Amino acid sequence: MVRSICISFVVFLVLSVPGEAQSENPYKLIGSIVGDVADFAVDNLDNVYVLTSTDQIKKYNANGDSVAVFNNVRRFGKVSAIDASNPLKVLLYYKDFATIVILDRLLAVQATIDLRLANIFQVNAIGQSYDNNIWLFDEGDSKLKKIDESGKVLLETPDFRLLFDQAPRIQNVFDQDGFVYLYDPEQNVFVFDYYGALRNKILISGWKDLKVAGKFIFGINDDTLHRYEINTFRLDEEKLPVPLNNSLKVNFTSSRLYALKKNLLEIYSLR
């Protein structure tokens, strides 16, 4: 199926790829987005959110159909991060303006949070919480905080500089199955409960594109895919096939792998 989205975008789904090379590849290419793809995010329903070089956001469903567009570009500068872990509530983070914009499932603006009004100025990582609030790591205070849609701080941990010998530099925040996972690529994955108490450290470091999805933590290191099963502590590793090497960014859901190349986002089934 070939679907023309606009002059610069073509989305196609590949049901099968014949040939011996495909049978040797544990991943099957099932779709691609071609065009101006600067960054992307995915949700747990395999919807894809493409960020263009002009900060336009386009949403595609799991079948590759274009379903929504966000055109309110550059109002707050460049988009620093997209959190689409909740398909009904997409977060855009603008680091330069310390602002979070909340979009609905059709990418219409629902709320705007100016973190500076809560005296929060240095944030690298945000993530959605199970109760429709927002987790963030405030580097200025070195604390994990939960805020509501008005920017009010609902919960915060003690200062990490008092908890750890070396204060973490958190790059990712994930809320999954009753716990909050904070990732510092130079140290660990820190696991907190919903009351802000440290519950565990997972000795994962040096992984790129880390993602907590379902019962797994995924990540890439050089040409190797790592898959850590949270409940069993089992770590599986496998070499990525050549077509996936040197990807600019990789993302995961429980069933798919997404690999960003220059002007190309490839979508693979994940066994």
Reduce the DSSP state of residue 205 to 3 states and report it: coil
- Judge whether residue 5 has pLDDT over 60: no
Q: What is the pLDDT of residues 128-186, one digit of tens each?
A: 999 999 999 999 999 999 999 999 999 999 999 999 988 899 999 999 999 999 999 99
CATH code for the structural domain at 46-58+65-239: 2.120.10.30
pLDDT at 25: 60
- Judge whether residue 6 has pLDDT over 70: no
For the chain, what are the domain ranges? 46-58+65-239
- Judge whether residue 191 has pLDDT over 70: yes
pLDDT at 24: 54
- Cβ partners under 8 Å of residue 186, min gap 6: 169, 205, 206
Please spell the DSSP secondary structure of 59-118, one letter per residue.
Answer: EE-TTS-EEEEE--TTTTSS--EEEEEETTEEEEEEGGGTEEEEE-TT--EEEEEEGGGG
User: Are 123 and 138 in contact, with CB atoms under 8 Å apart?
Assistant: yes
For the chain, what percent of residues have pLDDT higher than 90? 76
Q: What is the pLDDT of residues 75-127, one digit of tens each?
A: 888 999 999 999 999 999 999 999 999 999 999 999 999 999 999 999 999 99
Q: What is the mean pLDDT of residues 2-8?
A: 35
Q: pLDDT-derived band of residue 244, with 50, 70 and 90 as boundaries? A: confident
pLDDT at 241: 84
Three-point CA angle 50, 51, 53, nearest 5°: 135
Of 64-68, 108-112, 179-183, 242-246, which range is least confident? 242-246
pTM: 0.87
pLDDT at 271: 66
d(CA 237, CA 242): 16
Q: pLDDT-derived band of residue 242, with 50, 70 and 90 as boundaries? A: confident
Of 21-35, 64-78, 81-95, which range is least confident? 21-35
| Overall size of the chain counted in residues | 271
